[in-house]
Structures are given as structure tokens and as C-alpha cells.
Amino acid sequence: MIDQKTISTYFGDDDSLLRKFVAVFVRESPLLVNLMDEALASGDRNALALHAHTLKSQIKYFGYPELVQQLQEIEHMAEQPVPAPLLHGLLSEFNRDFRGAYEALSAIVL
């Protein structure tokens, strides 16, 4: 769910600015999610951590603390010698939860 308090903190009452940020997010975030999937599949944990960090920085503007937390965990775990199946599980959970946030934010710019 979009967090109105967070949106107000970053955007105030500037709907135009909010729409611009959301439009960029809607355009770029699927690419970052795909890059995270590809990085994990190829074993490039540095890239996985980088893409998780970048997406975390973007999504925090809209609230979604659970997604921010998941991305933080993915970023941290990618930098540790944890088994790949654990990262796959974390990323799968994030991908599932991300879809709902993406759809809600997409509705703002439609």
C-alpha cells in the first residue's frame, strides 16, 4: 500500500513532482528487477547488491517499508557467503510483493 505520510514527506502537495517520480519508477524499476534476477542467475552477487540498493533507494520515496526491508536484506545477503537458494527465496518473495506495489504506483500515472 502506498504510504501517504511518506509521499507527503518527500513530495508535499506537489502532484506534478510525484507523477514525475512515479513515471520514472514505473519505467525503470522493472529493468532493475530483471537485472537483479539476471545477476543472481549468473552468480554476480556484487551486481545483485548494487541493483537491490538502487531499487531500494527509489522505492523508499513511496513508502513500502516491507519492500525496502526485503531489498536491504537482499543487498546484505548478496554481500555475504550465504547459499544461493537462500538468495533465490528472498528474491522470489520480493518479486511477488513488488508486483502489487508496481501496479499501485502504475495506476498513479495512467
Tell me the backbone φ, ψ of residue 8, rounded to 5 degrees: -65, -35
Summarised one tens digit per residue, pLDDT across range 18-54 is 889 999 999 999 999 999 999 999 999 999 999 999 9
Domain count, the chain: 1
Q: Say how far apart CA 38 and CA 41 lie, in whole Å.
A: 5
CATH number of the domain enclosing 76: 1.20.120.160
Domain range for 49 is 4-109
Q: Say how far apart CA 89 and CA 68 lie, in whole Å.
A: 16
Q: Please say if the pLDDT value at position 1 is more than 70.
A: no
Residue with grid cell 550465504, as numbered in its chain = 82
Q: What is the CA radius of gyration of the chain?
A: 14
What is the separation of C-alpha 88 from the centre of its chain, rounded to a whole number of angstroms?
16
3-state secondary structure of 63: strand
Q: Please say if the pLDDT value at position 98 is more than 70.
A: yes
